Amino acid sequence: MLSFLLRRIAAVLPVLLVVSLVVFLILRLAPGDPAAAIAGNNATNEDIAQIRTQLGLDSSIPVQYGIWIGRVLQGDLGYSFYLSKPVTELIAQRIEPTLALAVGTVILAVLIAVPLGTLAAWRLGGWLDRLLSGFSVAGFSIPVFVIGYLLIYLFAIRLEWLPVQGYKSLLGPAGAGPWAWMRQLILPWMTLAMIYVALIARVTRASVSEALTEDYIRTARAKGLTERAVLLHHALVNAAVPIVTVIGIGIALLIGGVVVTETVFAIPGLGSLTVDAVLNRDFPVIQGLVLLFSVSYVMVNLLVDLSYLFLDPRIRY
Amino acid sequence: MKRRFLLTAATVLGLSWLSPAMAQTPPNKVFRFVPHANLTVLDPIWTTAYVTRNHAYMIYDTLFSEDAKGAIKPQMVDSYQVSKDELTWTFKLRAGLEFHDGKPVTSTDVVASLKRWATRDAMGGILTTFITAYETPDANTFKIVLNQPCGIMLDSLGKASSNVPFIMPARIAATPGAEQIKEHIGSGPFVFKADEFKPGALVVYTRNAKYKSRSEAPSGVAGGHPVNFDRVEWVIIRDPQTQFNALKAGEVDMIEQPSFEQYETLKKTEGVKVEDFFPAGLQFIMRFNHLHAPFNNVKIRQAAMVAMGQQAYINTQVGVPELGRLCRSMYPCGTAYGDEDTGYFTGVANPAKAKQMLQEAGYDGTPVLLMRPTDLASIAKLPLVAKQQLEAAGFKVDFQQMDWATLLARRAKKDSPANGGWSAFLTAWTAGDISTPLTMQMFNAKGQNGWFGWQDEPRLEYLKNRFARTVDPKEKKKIASEIQRVAFETATHAPLGQYQSPSAMRNNVSGVLQTPGIPVMWNIKKN
């Protein structure tokens, strides 16, 4: 297993190198000039040229890439063109809200979806199963921002239970405190969890219902085990591999969902940082974020693969 | 005993969970404001972005300022004198002015700031051509020595919109204009809290307790700057619906520019009011590329202008009749040089006449490459109208949609439209930026060295130079009108209607000042 782990971690490096090169090239070849965006409406061509030189954008693309990747290898992701701050500092400032949103969403989705899907599989065709099917269709088809606005209208505007927008850090001297921190995240969690509940519950239902038709389930029931024990200790455990896989995929897909949710709830996370950077052609920030997202994606996949070892003893690497 | 202790501890801990910010500033001493854009660049000389200019008004002070009537009034300056030959201007600073770092504001700081500003600002650049020397006889006095009498000294030093000659400490102003400053220390009414600045989320300012406000009543951005809040927070909310929801729920006190779509709803929303602090408003324009066909032909540009009808732009982009205004003048109506004597340009679409003019001009069907910025909601609908009006007049239109960043890069290209260039784009200007011939970028007619569109028209440059040298206001007005006449004759650009962009605020907010488009936070109160 150790050699598998080392091999997988070693495989991350070429992946990141390719990602960095592709992103770098796409950004440089795409239309749009950060210098023109920075210079503003009043600028002349001369102003733009001056800014291009200052940002180092007048060097050739291979030279620019060489300088950038050299710095990345030393842990320096560069400086934002706009904010004159290190990209690492910007990411550090924004990572907490995004992590809070993403981790909370996954936990909420798993806590709701897995029991729901398991129960639906247990009573296939029953009211809960039909309810889940309806909910899944809604969860997949209603856009995240519509769900967000509806929840804001109900819980923030009508009932005044929860705040409309914003994020205050849990940590630090100006931290919001645990309850205030949670209050501001409840609506974003609910909004973003909707689609993942639909996704995970559907897969859980399918996986558990298939497991329930297996011989070992009949044997377990014949042994006189309770239905709860059959479901939890036999069906769910054996159905866990596809469920964990879909949760892993869900975490990767969260990146897109987070952007919309952060916009609707004005949460200053990595999603809004990405959107701003793309709109302003802030190349160093985009490159840094794509690298971060790539590392996260690869790590989540690795963790999912490793979890198979614990969920299914037959799997060996 | 032990149980009681535990209960007390739990209660205290619990309460601290529920109200973690007990020690924070009282709510009526905090003002939460949603600016029209995210604040990214903090240097108001390096960029012309309005949001940066507005941020700078919070923390910096200016030598002169514009009042509500458009007159230039002393701000940091206490008094000034002009020599008889009009070649030496002597300015005395008010006593006791102090930067946020506790250091006094001196004439050396002023000169360093003006020099840096003049390297970036067009009007500052023109002013520099008059200046022989800056002198600093003492810490509170500075002199500007000229090579010829100058009619734009006060207009330049009191320029209200980007780039504004804000005064910063000399060591910071020593930064070349092409580089961003790293420290943000001014002598203005608010102090920027760099440690609390979260780009894309929050900008925090605190009251400058040592600020020396003028004794006059506030007017425009001039006069006294009384501050009624201990803390001002700029809350960055991008989504217009979320801005509206936050205002309705009382989480923010004011939205600078709510979307036009929400105007009627906001007016009817309980606890919320809509006010316009910017009477002169903004103006839509279409800019032609004078370098390439078809708009390198003045007759074809004139035909395009005749094809343009302002009402359709206002209806489509603004959509609220009471916020739009037809105005043929290139200088915004209601400003000092506004003049509706515009000759052939009526602002009413006349496709038949435009078609005839096109034929007379020998239009050969070269397509107009019209750029549309799809992601900039405030102007995204304008090119749709332009396309329709140009086509109705017989133009062929190559309609290209792109994001704003791509448009900004593309409009800087001097290549022909077929090789990555362009023919026309539309944008909006705040009145403050286009209210004089020297700040109007579309009158920059220096050809290849001019503003995008690169018009080469020596008459315009000559008249602008005369305007800058003229001191008599009546004569200046005459020259401004003459400049506009030439601009219409050569079809620099088409003015496409004026509009207001009111702000929305909670009912308990009062004292919002009428300014040349700058949302200032002084004088505002919350009851």
DSSP one-letter string for B376-399: -TTTTTHHHHHHHHHHHTT--EEE
CA nearest neighbour of A262 among A189, A196, A171: A189
Which residues 280-299 of A are in CB contact (within 8 Å) with B? 280-281
What is the per-residue DSSP string for B433-479?
A: GSSSTTT-GGG--BGGGSSTT--B-HHHHHHHHHHHH---HHHHHHH
- Within 10 A of B224 (CB to CB), how many other CB atoms are there? 15
Confidence band for B7, pLDDT divided at 50, 70 and 90: very low
Average pLDDT over residues B76-94: 97
pLDDT at B387 over 90: yes
Which pairs count as long-range contacts for B50-57, CB under 8 Å and 24+ apart, including other chains? B50/B161, B50/B162, B50/B430, B50/B517, B52/B162, B53/B161, B53/B162, B53/B163, B53/B164, B53/B518, B54/B518, B54/B519, B55/B192, B55/B203, B55/B234, B56/B164, B56/B166, B56/B186, B57/B164, B57/B188, B57/B221, B57/B518, B57/B520
Which pairs count as long-range contacts for A138-143, CB under 8 Å and 24+ apart, including other chains? A138/A198, A139/A194, A139/A195, A139/A197, A139/A198, A139/A199, A140/A195, A140/A198, A140/A199, A142/A194, A143/A260
What is the value of pTM for the model shown? 0.85
Average pLDDT over residues B327-332: 96
> Which value, in Å, is the radius of gyration of the alpha carbons in chain A?
24
Confidence band for A297, pLDDT divided at 50, 70 and 90: confident
Question: Which DSSP state fits B225?
Answer: -
Paired tokens of A15: 């992946």
pLDDT at B430 over 80: yes
Report yes or no: B171 and B29 within 8 Å, Cβ to Cβ: no
Average pLDDT over residues A263-284: 90
Paired tokens of B450: 């001019």
- The sign one gets for the Cα dihedral A96, A99, A101, A104 is negative
CA distance A45 to chain B (A): 6
pLDDT at B25: 60
Q: Which residues of B touch A167 (CB under 8 A)?
A: 201
Average pLDDT over residues B51-64: 97
Paired tokens of A184: 């501001």
CA nearest neighbour of B333 among B219, B442, B435, B474: B435
pLDDT at B235 over 70: yes
Confidence band for B13, pLDDT divided at 50, 70 and 90: very low
Counting every residue written for chain A, the total comes to 317
B410 three-class SS: helix
CA nearest neighbour of B113 among B166, B74, B61: B166
- Give the C-alpha distances (Å, rounded to integers) separating B236 from A177, A186, B32: 22, 20, 10
Paired tokens of B41: 């660049």
The per-residue pLDDT for range B108-118, each reduced to its tens digit, is 999 999 999 99
- Which is higher by pLDDT, B199 or B420? B420
CA distance A266 to chain B (A): 5
A152 in contact with chain B, both atoms CB, cutoff 8 A: yes
Burial of residue B427 (CB within 10 Å: 0-12, 13-18, 19+) is buried
Q: Which residues of A touch B238 (CB under 8 A)?
A: 263, 266, 272
Q: Which residues of B touch A268 (CB under 8 A)?
A: 198, 200-202, 236
Q: Which residues contact B492 (CB under 8 A, 6 or more apart)?
A: B288, B330, B442, B443, B445, B453, B455, B457, B460
Average pLDDT over residues B499-519: 94
Q: Do A42 and B162 touch (CB under 8 A)?
A: yes
The per-residue pLDDT for range B240-255, each reduced to its tens digit, is 999 999 999 999 999 9
CA distance A135 to chain B (A): 26
Of A33, A166, A273, the CB nearest to B412: A33
Of B18, B235, B410, the CB nearest to A179: B18
pLDDT at A173 over 80: no
Q: Do A83 and B179 touch (CB under 8 A)?
A: no
Within B168-300, strands assigned E span 190-192, 202-207, 231-235, 254-255, 272-275, 282-288
- Within 10 A of B175 (CB to CB), how many other CB atoms are there? 18
> Which segments of chain A does DSSP mark as H helices, in order?
2-29, 34-39, 45-55, 61-73, 87-122, 127-141, 144-151, 178-211, 215-222, 227-229, 237-238, 240-264, 270-280, 283-311
Report yes or no: B389 and B496 within 8 Å, Cβ to Cβ: no
pLDDT at B86 over 70: yes
Bond into B315 cis (ω within 30)? no
Confidence band for A317, pLDDT divided at 50, 70 and 90: low
pLDDT at A70 over 80: yes
For chains A and B, CB pairs below 8 A equal: 149
Q: Which residues of B touch A152 (CB under 8 A)?
A: 242, 245
Q: Do A268 and B17 touch (CB under 8 A)?
A: no
pLDDT at A307: 85
- Partnered with residue B244 across adjacent β-strands are none
Average pLDDT over residues A109-114: 94
CA nearest neighbour of B286 among B86, B427, B185: B427
Q: Which of A84, A93, A159 to mutate to test the interface with B (most CBs of B within 10 A)?
A: A84
CA distance B422 to chain A (A): 14
Q: Do A164 and B239 touch (CB under 8 A)?
A: no
pLDDT at B27 over 70: no
Mean pLDDT of chain B: 92
Name the strand (E) or helix (H) holding B18: helix B2-18
Confidence band for B447, pLDDT divided at 50, 70 and 90: very high
Q: Which residues of A touch B49 (CB under 8 A)?
A: 40
Q: Which of B36, B159, B272, B408 to mutate to test the interface with A (most CBs of A within 10 A)?
A: B408
Q: Which residues of A touch B248 (CB under 8 A)?
A: 157, 164
CA distance B200 to chain A (A): 6
* C-alpha span between A244 and B494 (Å, rounded): 61
Q: Do A164 and B404 touch (CB under 8 A)?
A: no
Q: Do B199 and A280 touch (CB under 8 A)?
A: no
pLDDT at A182 over 70: yes
A82 in contact with chain B, both atoms CB, cutoff 8 A: yes
Q: Do A280 and B405 touch (CB under 8 A)?
A: yes
The per-residue pLDDT for range B274-326, each reduced to its tens digit, is 999 888 899 999 999 999 999 999 999 999 999 999 999 999 999 999 999 99
- Percent of chain B past pLDDT 70, that is, above it, reads 95
Of B237, B245, B450, the CB nearest to A44: B450
End-to-end CA separation in angstroms for chain A = 6
Of A41, A48, A93, the CB nearest to B198: A93
Average pLDDT over residues B7-14: 44
pLDDT at B510: 95
ipTM rounded to 2 decimals = 0.81
Confidence band for B347, pLDDT divided at 50, 70 and 90: very high
pLDDT at B412 over 80: yes
Q: Do B414 and A54 touch (CB under 8 A)?
A: no
State chain A's maximal CA–CA distance in angstroms. Answer: 84
- Which is higher by pLDDT, B511 or B403? B511
pLDDT at B21 over 80: no
